[in-house]
Amino acid sequence: MNTRLKLLRPRNTRFVIGVFFVVAIGLTHPATAQAAETAMPVNFIVGNLWLLIATAMVFLMHLGFATLEAGLTQHKNTVNILFKNVCIVSIGILTYALIGFNLMYPGEEFAGGFFGFSGFWISTDPAGITPAYNENYTYWTDFIFQAMFAATAVTIVSGAVAERIRIEVFLVFALVYVSLCYPIVGMWKWGGGFLDTLDTPFYDFAGSTFVHSVGGWAALVGSIMLGPRLGKYVGRYVHDIPPSNLPLATIGVFLLWFGWYGFNGGSVLSADPGSVSYVFVTTSLGAAAGILGAMLTTIVLIKHLDLAMMLNGALAGLVGITAGADQLGTLDAVITGFVAGGLVVASVLFIDRKLKIDDPVGAISVHLVCGIWGTLAVGIFGNLASIGQFTSQVIGVVSVGAFCGLFSFVVFTVIKRITGLRVTADVEVKGLDHHEHGISGYRGFREEERPLYEKLGGEAAVSATVDLFYKKVLADDRLKGYFEGVDVERLRRHQKSFLAVAFGGGALGTIGQKLRGAHAHLVEQGIGDAEFDRIVDLLEAALAELKVPKELIGEALQTIDGLRNDVLNR
Amino acid sequence: MNTRLKLLRPRNTRFVIGVFFVVAIGLTHPATAQAAETAMPVNFIVGNLWLLIATAMVFLMHLGFATLEAGLTQHKNTVNILFKNVCIVSIGILTYALIGFNLMYPGEEFAGGFFGFSGFWISTDPAGITPAYNENYTYWTDFIFQAMFAATAVTIVSGAVAERIRIEVFLVFALVYVSLCYPIVGMWKWGGGFLDTLDTPFYDFAGSTFVHSVGGWAALVGSIMLGPRLGKYVGRYVHDIPPSNLPLATIGVFLLWFGWYGFNGGSVLSADPGSVSYVFVTTSLGAAAGILGAMLTTIVLIKHLDLAMMLNGALAGLVGITAGADQLGTLDAVITGFVAGGLVVASVLFIDRKLKIDDPVGAISVHLVCGIWGTLAVGIFGNLASIGQFTSQVIGVVSVGAFCGLFSFVVFTVIKRITGLRVTADVEVKGLDHHEHGISGYRGFREEERPLYEKLGGEAAVSATVDLFYKKVLADDRLKGYFEGVDVERLRRHQKSFLAVAFGGGALGTIGQKLRGAHAHLVEQGIGDAEFDRIVDLLEAALAELKVPKELIGEALQTIDGLRNDVLNR
Amino acid sequence: MNTRLKLLRPRNTRFVIGVFFVVAIGLTHPATAQAAETAMPVNFIVGNLWLLIATAMVFLMHLGFATLEAGLTQHKNTVNILFKNVCIVSIGILTYALIGFNLMYPGEEFAGGFFGFSGFWISTDPAGITPAYNENYTYWTDFIFQAMFAATAVTIVSGAVAERIRIEVFLVFALVYVSLCYPIVGMWKWGGGFLDTLDTPFYDFAGSTFVHSVGGWAALVGSIMLGPRLGKYVGRYVHDIPPSNLPLATIGVFLLWFGWYGFNGGSVLSADPGSVSYVFVTTSLGAAAGILGAMLTTIVLIKHLDLAMMLNGALAGLVGITAGADQLGTLDAVITGFVAGGLVVASVLFIDRKLKIDDPVGAISVHLVCGIWGTLAVGIFGNLASIGQFTSQVIGVVSVGAFCGLFSFVVFTVIKRITGLRVTADVEVKGLDHHEHGISGYRGFREEERPLYEKLGGEAAVSATVDLFYKKVLADDRLKGYFEGVDVERLRRHQKSFLAVAFGGGALGTIGQKLRGAHAHLVEQGIGDAEFDRIVDLLEAALAELKVPKELIGEALQTIDGLRNDVLNR
């Protein structure tokens, strides 16, 4: 991703600050259909198409992060993680359109060494969709490709702070970080800022530093400031909290790898055959070597075959190769990836066991540690390797780290003062899904095994329900008439054994016949849906009064409803 | 997706009706290799490639629907949902080749205002793979891109009728709907029919109406005619039936969003840089704003952070932006998506709580309500906004709705008369997976926790098994000889405690040594695999006679088989 | 995938054997940026881009295989399957770079009828990234596209040998097979070997034989040599071992199908509009007809709607169409796919029930049986159909089968002599995840249902813990001072009932208040974090001494840690 100064981007002064949700009927007319298609250069058509396809591939990385993080954390926090990841995509794209793109690529006119801003919201004139904007892509392609990168950076944070951060805190942090910190830092190089104008310019091809370490620094600061999950470090005890769904985590890593072909391959910013194909090769070799490095290191340090570490090894190799994917030789790519794979295992263990920083998914090790390693590798291996380059790489790493670390610290500190960062201990132990979302990520995997009868509390509970239910029935104006002269005590016994069968998962078919017989005379007396519904209402009231959980009430009523036609002899 | 009249499509009269599965050796020779590659225009090569890639992306939407629907419904109906979605892809592609494509795009010669048909099966002459067919793609690309759309429309229905429809009923409905209703309606605009020849032509860029609302109308009619799931509405009680697998549903939505870049981006029907990139931007903004709209509406109306609603919000934004993705301005796209996101939440609640129509996945709200909204939005915002356009949009919505609603009603009514629509109450309560597919979607997530010993029924059951087993052994001609002079009572006791350990999940290693000792003398007497197999057969017979479920028998025999080498002292 | 002789590949003699992980700073400079972009032919730019995108799509097939295999096997072996699939991608790419590519495509200079090799590791001169290498793609594209295919072939094996092979055995086999067998055999046709120089050359468009059957033969040999899983065939009993996660398997098949558009479409080796679009159509028709064929055959032979069979039907259709995707007519494609779909069902049943070869995922039927069928179909249907072609196809099938079968047999035999192939019976019964990886694929799906109190062993266990804990506390120099004059017996009783509540999943909030009161005087005496940590250490020691599993200890300490602030009155 080379520096691209936007000489031709027109400033649209019509769009004022805060216009975001103002109804703008007829105000905005896309300048698309008017473009003459005559004689467009091949580079422009093909390069543009490739960047759009790469955009879609990078989009899929968000699913990769969502599934990886949900897979590596605990069962009870799954919905919370997914929720955060869905929100981030929305926040990332919208804020990047509102402010981020124009902060990161302000164009020559507005650029500075450290900061530049060319106004709110995205827009272009007709030239923006011609090679006059860029010989390889349109203004819109430029925006949407970069927008997907922006959202990626913050997603990295969500894994490190998972399972204990308050959801509002995370969303506010993500909003501020992606709107301001990510684009300001990115501008330093990709927007033509001071790191691009060093004597030996800092080099970061696709974002080992500007995407991965930017996310990684916030992950580091966030997880330190939040503190570890409860029980993670108690006394001298280090508690390994195992992942809940490794197939899901594996899906995540493969999707990230797939998306990385767009992330790195698209960062060529053209469809140049030599460059894009070469980047595909180094990216693949880096990832493959990362797995190998992680495997060998794991065998030495952990002494068993740890799938999660292997998955992190693949990601480590990918993060590591990202800064120099177009500059490293093929063997350099293997070495860089292999070292990254080993590094990530050692780093996870060091951060977890020695530094006692709790990072549930290893995001700091993957994105920050390997992001730094990959950035430095550009100064060590490949076409650019030199003392001067290495020095520039160190300058870039340090300056980005200082800014992002400070930025994160300030934002988290302000939020902490206002609302606090963590959920309460009670919520954390029970799981964030229950408290913040009122739902479980995986319902029915456990509770359906036991028959409803048992879940309701067995004989005692069903008996209590029936007693209360009949009390209500016999007091009900519409229904009590039907029970005159009936031996209620006997009925109650029948009802108890009937419910034992019905709620016991028994065959409803056989009950059906008995019910038909038992209710035939009532049907002749005229009972119908109204009475049946009334009965169901009273049963619900009885169950609710006995504090039966809402879900079980639903299940009970579902069962009863299945017998309506039998009761009513239809 | 502009109107494309197929002037050049040759009619292949050799293909007669019904030829579908006739062996046709040598009959069909693809006209591919013969094409001279000299000097093909860039537009043709690149446009064609983009549409093919878009085709693959739209294909992936089928996985998106499958996982979304399986994730949002109950654990016990998972296999059934997946089964339907797999079938639909097959049915969609095959029928579209047989009849759909030629109904939807009959070409100028065969087109009418409301109906046209150019014959069965797909074929072309050599010109079909040159720019003479279309300057941006070949005949084959045209077909396969459209075929993927066709299958999508019916998949929408499957979510709304889930958990209670008979599988044959759904498959027959899907077959008829995708073969006839979808292409006939689509022809009205995309094939050059009456909606395309209005004074102000109806506009639907990529299918808010022709794909999403076409599916949505059938979803509405189907869910009304089927009635709600058992226990969903009992008396005054509205039972929320929570989703079973939210990570799976999240995978579904992200894959749908990914596919949508192909769905909308491909509908440009060329790789024109300005148009395709602009459509990527509006599509992204629409989806992102849909999430935001759903989030805010959810907080107001439901008062907690509902992941399923957010996911539906993303889809709502995507459906909403689909009709005008190339015509709306960027802010229009945000507004359209934002409104769609809010609308979907309100609509789900209204349909579920007020209308009491049971739509397990919210398909009606997402695809029908937001499809209509998106279609109308083209008359309100952007380049085409005008009273005349709005009127045309209303005409399109109403005429498509009337036809699809009536079509669905007639088809469902006919099927209902013949076979009925719903599974029995018994099947519904136990789950469709058990009854229709004889399998669970997630096996081993629950039952393996308890040791086999306990699952078999504990001491009493094992004891009964051993008694019966020895009765069989002592009556067996091949085996009884080995037991002469043996204290069978003692053996039986040993066997019982042995099985308690073996089935208790205990360490087989330690049992092994004892078994070796105990059987050494028998091995000397010549017992071998034949005797061991006989023993296993008798044990199986004993377990089967005691009505032990087949799966547990398998597990028991697996354990015993693991001891073969020990018993036979090898 | 036509024969491509690499006339222009330079031999890089600088790279010596074994150089793989030698640090090579500055040694390798990619020849990318230097390429002049002036006037590159359209075919080259677009063809190259398409092959790279196809590469990424084929990469995703690895995720398809991983999820399919993990979904179709047992819950207890999930991590093991995923681990293998992650390793294979790494092994496949690295060995193909080191040796495979140069064995499979040695170039004219080095090629032989049966074997050729042009040296270790990949490299090219500047011409490698120009049309001089190939008019449709660069050297790097050529390599990475082929590398993805190579890794695919071995992945096929992993499903057939699943749930019982030792992981090291599989990895060594995969390494040898993908390094040597796959590329040597592939060279026979695609590298210009003897099958390509037959009078009527053998034809395999995208790999029914060279990818699928190559994998399939090893799957056959491997599963025979390993023998069936324990309890699969016991006596006369054939035990169906049902899949554990059908949504995961469905994800796998759809991803494979998606990837197949790259697999077959990319095998055109250019972006020729007519050819690529035609291949998309035949591929889609083949898969769709495969589902139909499997469905009808399943209904006849199995008499219920078997999702796993339908999924295999789709794959069967895809494997079947792969050899002749560019040569068969559209109806031929339907017939070929339909027959493949039926064949796979019959073959699974025959192999499983009659041959009693245990192939947990049906890989032999899908990849070997349908790979052979697809290869033969090229001689029966379509452009090439003739007796001569059919004969050549048979020659190809037999020679590849003989070589791969023998190769697999030798490799497995050698490994068997050295280490044995199978895990022990004990490991197999408990599951490979537990033994080889020390982790479960799905944690928390079962065990969290019961409160910790119960999992620890109920009253007796908690009581014993408290007794031991107080013994330790009263012997501890730092702590014992605080207990002077305290009624320890009473404290112990309190502690027992406190833990019953705390570990019972009760509300920690209410306990909190009591703890504050009870410890207020101790806080005044100066207890703080140090004392709290000491207490936790002693509790951990007590639990460990009582052999409480590590995971439960973690859970217990997590709960206690949640009360720190209450105890310390903060």
pLDDT tens for C382-429 read 999 999 999 999 999 999 999 999 999 999 999 999 999 999 887 888
Instruction: Please state, as a whole number, how many other Cβ atoms lie within 10 Å of the Cβ of residue B197.
Output: 13
What is the nearest CA distance from B14 to chain C, expressed in angstroms? 13
Query: What was the pLDDT predicted at C11?
Result: 39
At C447, the pLDDT band (50, 70, 90 cuts) reads low
CB contact under 8 A, B278 and A30: yes
At B454, the pLDDT band (50, 70, 90 cuts) reads low
Q: Which two tokens stand for residue A414?
A: 């302000």
Task: Give CA–CA dist A570/A248, Å, rounded.
Answer: 47
CA atoms within 13 A on the CB side of C447: 15
Residue B471, C-beta contacts closer than 8 angstroms, at least 6 positions apart: none
Beta-sheet pairing, C233-234 with C237-238: antiparallel
Residues of chain B with Cβ-Cβ distance to C265 below 8 Å are: 52
Closest to A339 measured CA to CA, from A401, A300, A289: A289
Sign of CA dihedral A407, A408, A414, A415: positive
Q: Which two tokens stand for residue C16?
A: 């010596």
Task: Give CA–CA dist C36/C131, Å, rounded.
Answer: 12
Task: Give CA–CA dist B10/B6, Å, rounded.
Answer: 9
Task: Give CA–CA dist A368/A320, Å, rounded.
Answer: 10
Q: Which two tokens stand for residue C112?
A: 């032989």
Q: Which residue bears the tokens 């051993």?
A: B466
Residue A391, by phi and psi: left (phi above 0), alpha (psi -120 to 50) or beta?
alpha
pLDDT tens for B532-564 read 888 888 888 888 888 777 777 877 887 787 778
What is the nearest CA distance from C49 to chain A, expressed in angstroms? 7
CB contact under 8 A, C245 and B78: no
For the cut 50, the answer to whether the pLDDT of residue C22 exceeds it is: no
Q: What angle do CA A409, A413, A414 make, to 5 degrees?
A: 120
Q: Which residue bears the tokens 């945000």?
A: B334
Q: Which residue bears the tokens 């225009």?
A: B41
CB contact under 8 A, C442 and A244: yes
Write out the DSSP string of A320-339.
HHHSSTTTS-HHHHHHHHHH
Task: Give CA–CA dist B219/C426, Å, rounded.
Answer: 52
At C504, the pLDDT band (50, 70, 90 cuts) reads low
At C14, the pLDDT band (50, 70, 90 cuts) reads very low
Residues of chain A with Cβ-Cβ distance to B428 below 8 Å are: 562
Report how far Cα A365 is from the mean position of its chain's Cα atoms: 18
Query: What was the pLDDT predicted at C57?
Result: 98
Task: Give CA–CA dist A474/A480, Å, rounded.
Answer: 5
Residues B292-319, mean pLDDT to the nearest whole number: 94
CB contact under 8 A, A534 and B272: no
Closest to B230 measured CA to CA, from A502, A526, A543, A456: A502
Rounded to 10 deg, the angle between the B167-176 and B78-95 helix axes is: 20
Instruction: Please state, as a whole number, how many other Cβ atoms lie within 10 Å of the Cβ of residue B530.
Output: 11
CB contact under 8 A, C246 and B441: yes
**B238 SS3 class:** strand
For the cut 80, the answer to whether the pLDDT of residue C510 exceeds it is: no
Q: Are A185 and A401 in contact (CB under 8 A)?
A: no
Task: Give CA–CA dist A351/A338, Å, rounded.
Answer: 20
**A132 SS3 class:** coil
Closest to B122 measured CA to CA, from B206, B45, B214, B28: B28
Write out the DSSP string of C35-100.
S--TT--HHHHHHHHHHHHHHHHHHHHHHHHHHHHHHHS-GGGHHHHHHHHHHHHHHHHHHIIIII
* Sequence-ordered alpha helix ranges (H) in C304-359: 307-322, 330-349
Q: Are C452 and C503 in contact (CB under 8 A)?
A: yes
Query: What was the pLDDT predicted at B559?
Result: 78
Burial class (CB in 10 A: 0-12, 13-18, 19+), C402: exposed
Closest to A210 measured CA to CA, from A52, A85, A368: A368
Task: Give CA–CA dist C200/C211, Å, rounded.
Answer: 21
With CA atoms as reference, the chain C residue closest to A381 would be C25
Q: Are B211 and B319 in contact (CB under 8 A)?
A: no
With CA atoms as reference, the chain B residue closest to C377 would be B25
Q: Are B7 and B124 in contact (CB under 8 A)?
A: no
State chain C's mean pLDDT as an integer. 87
Query: What was the pLDDT predicted at A10?
Result: 38
Residues B295-318, mean pLDDT to the nearest whole number: 94
CB contact under 8 A, B257 and A59: yes
Query: What was the pLDDT predicted at B446?
Result: 64
What is the nearest CA distance from B82 to chain C, expressed in angstroms? 7
Write out the DSSP string of A415-478.
HHHHH-SBPPHHHHHH-HIIIIISS-SB-SSSGGGS-HHHHHTHHHHHHHHHHHHHHHHHT-TT
What's the farthest any 2 CA atoms get from each other in chain A? Answer: 103
CA atoms within 13 A on the CB side of A336: 39
State chain B's mean pLDDT as an integer. 87
Task: Give CA–CA dist B306/B312, Å, rounded.
Answer: 10
Q: Report residue A381: phi and psi, to 5°.
A: -115, 165
Query: What was the pLDDT predicted at A486?
Result: 80
Q: Are B219 and B161 in contact (CB under 8 A)?
A: yes
Query: What was the pLDDT predicted at A446?
Result: 64
Q: Determine the residue type at A464.
A: A
Task: Give CA–CA dist A331/A319, Å, rounded.
Answer: 17
Q: Are A389 and A406 in contact (CB under 8 A)?
A: no
For the cut 50, the answer to whether the pLDDT of residue B510 exceeds it is: yes
DSSP code of B31?
S
In B178-270 the beta strands, taken as DSSP E runs, fall at: 233-234, 237-238
- Give the residue from B135, B164, B234, B248 with the most A CB atoms within 10 Å of its CB, the best one to mutate: B234
Distances (CA, A) of A130 to A13, A104, B329: 22, 22, 18
Residue C565, C-beta contacts closer than 8 angstroms, at least 6 positions apart: A425
What is the nearest CA distance from A287 to chain B, expressed in angstroms? 23
Residues C259-277, mean pLDDT to the nearest whole number: 97
β-bridge partners, A165: A422
Closest to B51 measured CA to CA, from B93, B88, B1: B1
Residue B529, C-beta contacts closer than 8 angstroms, at least 6 positions apart: B564, B568
CB contact under 8 A, B78 and C247: yes
The mean pLDDT values, 10 residues at a time, for chain A of 570 residues are 40 35 36 48 96 98 97 94 96 97 88 86 94 96 96 92 95 96 96 94 96 97 94 75 94 98 97 97 98 96 90 98 97 98 97 94 97 98 96 97 98 96 86 86 68 71 82 82 80 77 59 76 82 83 81 78 81
Closest to A567 measured CA to CA, from A543, A540, A535: A535
Q: Partners for A (CB, 8 Å, 3+ pairs)?
A: B, C
Q: Which stretch, B107-121, C127-141, C418-432, has highest mean pLDDT? A: C127-141
Query: What was the pLDDT predicted at B555?
Result: 76
Start-to-end CA distance of chain C, whole Å, equals 72
Task: Give CA–CA dist B212/A524, Å, rounded.
Answer: 48
Residues B83-107, mean pLDDT to the nearest whole number: 95
Q: Partners for C (CB, 8 Å, 3+ pairs)?
A: A, B
Q: Which residue bears the tokens 């036609």?
A: A565
Q: Which of A17-21, A30-34, B262-266, B315-319 has the lowest mean pLDDT?
A: A17-21
At C462, the pLDDT band (50, 70, 90 cuts) reads confident
Q: Determine the residue type at A67.
A: T
β-bridge partners, B442: C245
Task: Give CA–CA dist C103/C120, Å, rounded.
Answer: 9
Residues of chain C with Cβ-Cβ distance to A241 below 8 Å are: 554
β-bridge partners, A233: A238
Residues B176-190, mean pLDDT to the nearest whole number: 96
Q: Which two tokens stand for residue C99?
A: 């040796």
Task: Give CA–CA dist B114/C248, Å, rounded.
Answer: 43
At B25, the pLDDT band (50, 70, 90 cuts) reads very low
Task: Give CA–CA dist C5/C396, Å, rounded.
Answer: 20
Identity of the residue in A20, A52, A536 whose CB atom sits nearest the CB atom of B237: A536
* Sequence-ordered alpha helix ranges (H) in A213-272: 214-226, 246-266
What is the nearest CA distance from C183 to chain A, expressed in angstroms? 19
